Structure 1
Amino acid sequence: MATHIILTVLCISIFSLLFQSSVSQPAPITNSSLCNGILITYSYVTGKEIPPIISSADPTNQAYRFESNLTVLNNGPVELKNWRVFVGFDHGELLVSASNAVLANGTTLPANISGGTIFSGSPGFTDLKTAIETAGNIDQMRVVVDLVGTQFGVGPPNVPLPDNLVLANDGYSCPNLTTQGNHMSVCCVPDPNAKTNVSVNGAFSPLQFGDVTIMYDVTVTHESNYWAQVTITNNNSFGRLENWNLSWDWTEGEFISTMRGAYPKIVDSGDCIFGRQGQFYKDLDFSKVLSCETRPTIIDLPITKANDTILGLVPFCCRNGTILSPKMDVSKSKSSFLMQVYKMPPNLNKTELSPPINWNINSTIGPAYQCSQPIRVDPTLFPDPSGLPSYTSAVATWQVVCNTTHVESKKPNCCVSFSSFFNDSVVPCNTCACGCDRVDPRNEKNVCSATGPALLLPSEALLVPFENRTKLAETFARLKRREIPNPLPCGDNCGVSINWHVLSDYKKGWTARITLFNWDETDVVDWYAAVELNEAMPGFEEAYSMDGKVMSGEHNNTLFLQGLPGRNYLIAEKNGSNPKKDPRVPGSMQSIISFVKKKTPGINVPRGDGFPTKVYFNGEECSLPTILPSMGHRLNHVSAVFSCILLIFVLIMH
């Protein structure tokens, strides 16, 4: 009897465990009718070990080919526009090919997708209609993406499934991800608490905001070709593009015949002449075709071509690759060009229009950008060129959104030094603030420490190039009885340095002086700077020799500075009066800035509130010192002498 009871309890326990397991690990949704939203399914198909074969010696780094498919099915009542799905790859995956989809961040294949990536539909597969509007046509409701790539460390019979699967479109939630065997699935449903990406009229997606936006407007369309206008707009308050380069991938064999307002970096029609384009367009003069590259790179034209009747006469064109911050000049914050694009079969129809993909824009200064895939938006409305109070609509419009990315290896091009009226030591720019590429370790005379802290300087040392500061710095260190390291710290190697000097501090207010130094061999045109003062900005009163304005919105703690009319050039470094003995002289510009304390009660200027927390120059964040001038003996007479010297220096330079 006791044995029967024990067996009964044991059976009940096993059944209970199995039941709990089945509850916590529900099977994937195999019947699509069980999901009345967006059903996303990921299925691992097959895989095999590929060379080099190191599975016995180093199994975690053994490479395996994988083949899988991603399916997105719209079972909901609303069309899904510009679908985006995040797949949380977690096995060092390298994606080699993907059908009917592209990587949403614009990366070209093959690409490292370990850590996860977002897929979006390639042209023709971006939107998923509903069963209601298609009478259940599954081909219009669903997209299947076949994936081929390499993963590491998971060999058969184990299955390298992702660790997450979710719809990345706004307005949806994806609870209860389920996994079983080679499959995983999730049903995503509209979430009333999430923001939506549906436009008012429901025709296309709404415009998105980004640091840089690119509009691709088809303005005229024919059977075999169309004209497109490309407009690049800089929306970044601190950003600036210089010598921009724009590139993309054609997907259907398109090529560029004619351009106005910009030009290919490489003019070459060879790929067309020897390719299928030349076979199809037998009567086209390919000697006049500009680019047949699958991934062309486009550059801006010089200002002299703005009114050229063949290459120019496009609004916002021909600015030598310069796109300014909208805070500086809205009219110069965009660039535009036109191009004639020829299509290939089977897309020879006026309505067969698709934009290029995998866009990328870069600049010789400023941050790096990562761009989205093009998204169809409402057609752009252009003011009538005749001046009539009417607008002309584009045939079709796509938007590409690019945002800044942080690149660890990229060094700034500018740095900041701190000084004050209460300390005669200048806290210089950081050692190797802009890199140490100029250091030659093979030359013993040039050996320096790339990690040692910069030596505190006498104020007059700011006026000479770094290579001429050594004697001044060593003499000053001995005078102050400070240790002189061996080797000496390297210089900052920055093309532009900025000195922020707290000039005075009194009961009702305080003043600072900002001085810009250009150590490069080229003038800086249309310069601007932004100074972040977290505690002091409400008390800003006036910038006396620069155009200074407090920014609005989230940047209301930042002062935007630019040159006054006629003083927007920061001239290049030049020879001294006697080049044989005098050091080179930097271009410079300065201004006194005054603040009142009425709006900032409790502000402590010397203890840090009077020094910037961030400084930008021409869109790039500058390197800031890690220490502040200390509250030592008040040396007002020394500070006054330095102020006079610096003022005379700047006046002479101008």
Structure 2
Amino acid sequence: MVFNTYAYPFLSAIAIVMIFSHAALAFDILDPTGNITIKWDVMSWTPDGYVAVVTMTNFQMYRHIMSPGWTLGWTWSKKEVIWGMVGAQATEQGDCSKFKGNIPHCCKRNPTVVDLLPGVPFNQQIANCCKGGVVASWGQDPSAAVSSFQVSVGLSGSSNRTVRLPKNFTLLAPGKGYTCSQAKPVPPTVFVSPDGRRRTQAMMTWNVTCTYSQILASQHPTCCVSLSSFYNSVITPCPACSCGCQNNNSCVASGSETIRSVVGTNRSTLNNAPSIQCTEHMCPIRVHWHVKLNYKEYWRVKISVINFNYQVNYTQWTLVVQHPNLNNVTQVFSFAYKPLVPYRSTNDSGMFYGLKFFNDVLMEAGPSGNIQSELILEKDIDTFTFKEGWAFPRNIYFNGDECKMPLPEDYPFLPNSAHLNQIASLTLAAFLLLTLLASW
């Protein structure tokens, strides 16, 4: 075979582009240090192995793991087995036929583990377990961003010299794709007793870091954005086919008999039946941004999030918005709000999320399948304008996934200057009318 030596630089360039393209898709400029870290602490030795506590901590600011929860997998380096687990379980036992009497919990070379559901007996629990695999984001609730379980490993060796680290870790989460590093030994974890008077440490510790990857998550967007304003009667819808296009049996028509058979049906029994309401955009989630009112020193925006999925309640949802005026947010109604401070010159992004026990669950499609908020922003006299779509967001992310935005040329446009005074007068009149009605 004859090789063309001139092809090597070209092929190398392609390889470099592919590597950096993948890295760019995995890197999140709004959350550059966000990851899920899995810490494996060997707490004690047994005659043929060890007992370890595995702790999963979600350090991502706005990506959480929602129901039905995480699935963690790995490959053993030798012929290890799992004798028992507390706070989690392997999904398959595998072939344990060579064992007599005491049968292991799992004999598979590549076990798959899931969290236990809430309400299991106390003797099957450890701290931070048994939440159905649901893990909050660090930005929302650090105390709920941790999930743990205990595993008793056998046939592994029972010393630092004989134990081998598991390989090929995988982390699966609903609608999310993660790439995990190989396990790496780190200094043993030091534990402090509740009274602070005693310090102990693990026999050995290793870490695995899993980072979010848009490539692994979905080839298509999962949400889209529509726009409207007080100064223009035109509503800009989500772009057509934002999350896919309608085809035969791809969606459920609103008001159809099919809805009754879909709602309340267990997902596993649907046999891939469609559960998304038929729309032009075909997205499970639509975010609507409405420029509502204009005051002398402030302006007001209404945000609505609508669920078109008849099978999914979005728990602990997050909404991230990029807009240059978010550094001047004055008040947010009915949502919690937290600025995101990216590694750049201006703070133009923030995270909205639900208030606990009020609207932290976005219900499935239907009358209750929407949540709304309003925010008041102080004008920056040097930059504020309604011209050229400045009042609309640059990007919106729902549950960490980037939403499909309309094209800038389709945004509601500002009428010419001859009508600006009329618009201002109408805005003031509307505000006074609302104030009067509220006082009745």
Question: Could you tell me the TM-score, scaled by structure 1's length?
Answer: 0.52
TM-fit CA distance, 1:361: 0.5
2:394 matched to 1:613? yes
Match of 2:197 among 351, 374, 389: 389
- SS of alignment partner, residue 331 of structure 1: helix
2:342 matched to 1:530? no
Identical pairs, percent: 27
C-alpha distance in 2 between matches for 1:515 and 1:378: 47
Q: Which residue of 1 aligns with 2:78?
A: 252
C-alpha distance in 1 between matches for 2:33 and 2:288: 34
Q: Which residue of 1 aligns with 2:290?
A: 501
- SS of alignment partner, residue 538 of structure 1: helix
Matches for 1:20-419 after TM superposition, within 5 Å: 211-242=35-66, 243-268=69-94, 270=95, 272-274=96-98, 278=99, 284-286=101-103, 289-305=104-120, 308-312=121-125, 314-344=126-156, 347=157, 349=159, 351-366=161-176, 368-384=177-193, 387-407=195-215, 410-419=219-228
Contact 2:93 2:108 in 1 (8 A): no
C-alpha distance in 2 between matches for 1:317 and 1:431: 42
Q: Which residue of 1 aligns with 2:383?
A: 602
Q: Which residue of 2 aligns with 1:631?
A: 414
C-alpha distance in 1 between matches for 2:97 and 2:395: 53
Match of 2:365 among 570, 573, 586: 573
- SS of alignment partner, residue 215 of structure 2: coil
Deviations 1:488-517 (A, max 9, x none): x96222222110011123441211110111
Contact 1:238 1:616 in 2 (8 A): no
Q: 1:527 to 1:117 in 2, by over 3 A?
A: closer
C-alpha distance in 2 between matches for 1:565 and 1:356: 38
Deviations 1:156-193 (A, max 9, x none): xxxxxxxxxxxxxxxxxxxxxxxxxxxxxxxxxxxxxx
Contact 1:374 1:398 in 2 (8 A): yes
Contact 2:82 2:154 in 1 (8 A): yes
Contact 2:319 2:398 in 1 (8 A): yes
Q: Which residue of 2 aligns with 1:492?
A: 281
Deviations 1:335-366 (A, max 9, x none): 1111000025xx35464222201111011123
Matches for 1:413-432 after TM superposition, within 5 Å: 413-432=222-241
Q: 1:391 to 1:418 in 2, by over 3 A?
A: farther
TM-fit CA distance, 1:526: 2.2
Q: 1:380 to 1:322 in 2, by over 3 A?
A: same
Specify the code of the residue in structure 2 equivalent to 1:526: Q
Q: 1:350 to 1:213 in 2, by over 3 A?
A: closer
2:329 matched to 1:540? yes
Specify the code of the residue in structure 2 equivalent to 1:510: W
Q: Which residue of 1 aligns with 2:248?
A: 440
Specify the code of the residue in structure 1 equivalent to 2:40: Y
Contact 1:240 1:365 in 2 (8 A): no
Specify the code of the residue in structure 2 equivalent to 1:429: C
C-alpha distance in 2 between matches for 1:337 and 1:495: 33
Q: 1:381 to 1:536 in 2, by over 3 A?
A: same
TM-fit CA distance, 1:593: 0.5
Contact 2:389 2:413 in 1 (8 A): no
Higher Rg of the two aligned structures: 1
C-alpha distance in 1 between matches for 2:84 and 2:18: 36
Contact 1:240 1:323 in 2 (8 A): yes
Q: 1:398 to 1:284 in 2, by over 3 A?
A: farther
C-alpha distance in 2 between matches for 1:216 and 1:529: 32
- SS of alignment partner, residue 343 of structure 2: helix
TM-fit CA distance, 1:603: 2.0
Mark the runs of 5 or more structure 1 residues left unpaired by the alignment: 1-54, 61-87, 92-113, 119-207, 447-464, 469-488, 575-584, 648-654
How many residue pairs match? The answer is 376
RMSD, aligned α-carbons: 3.5
Specify the code of the residue in structure 1 equivalent to 2:142: V
Specify the code of the residue in structure 2 equivalent to 1:624: M
Q: 1:492 to 1:380 in 2, by over 3 A?
A: same
TM-fit CA distance, 1:246: 0.7
Contact 2:160 2:204 in 1 (8 A): no
Specify the code of the residue in structure 1 equivalent to 2:412: P
Contact 1:417 1:428 in 2 (8 A): yes
C-alpha distance in 1 between matches for 2:135 and 2:150: 17
Q: 1:258 to 1:117 in 2, by over 3 A?
A: farther
TM-fit CA distance, 1:543: 0.5
Moved more, 516-525 or 245-254: 516-525
Contact 1:225 1:342 in 2 (8 A): yes
Question: Could you tell me the TM-score, scaled by structure 2's length?
Answer: 0.76
Q: 1:389 to 1:493 in 2, by over 3 A?
A: farther
Q: 1:255 to 1:606 in 2, by over 3 A?
A: farther
- SS of alignment partner, residue 407 of structure 1: helix
Moved more, 249-258 or 608-617: 608-617
Specify the code of the residue in structure 1 equivalent to 2:49: N
Contact 2:71 2:173 in 1 (8 A): yes
- SS of alignment partner, residue 536 of structure 1: helix
Q: 1:407 to 1:377 in 2, by over 3 A?
A: same
Larger relative contact order (Cα-Cα within 8 Å, sequence gap ≥ 6): 2
Contact 1:497 1:518 in 2 (8 A): yes
Specify the code of the residue in structure 2 equivalent to 1:596: E
C-alpha distance in 1 between matches for 2:304 and 2:33: 34
Q: Which residue of 1 aligns with 2:6?
A: none
Q: 1:586 to 1:440 in 2, by over 3 A?
A: farther
Specify the code of the residue in structure 1 equivalent to 2:377: F
TM-fit CA distance, 1:405: 1.9
Q: 1:258 to 1:116 in 2, by over 3 A?
A: farther
C-alpha distance in 1 between matches for 2:87 and 2:306: 34
- SS of alignment partner, residue 303 of structure 1: coil
- SS of alignment partner, residue 607 of structure 1: helix
Contact 1:249 1:358 in 2 (8 A): yes
Moved more, 290-299 or 347-356: 347-356
Specify the code of the residue in structure 1 equivalent to 2:174: T
Deviations 1:83-113 (A, max 9, x none): xxxxx9x69xxxxxxxxxxxxxxxxxxxxxx
Specify the code of the residue in structure 1 equivalent to 2:122: T
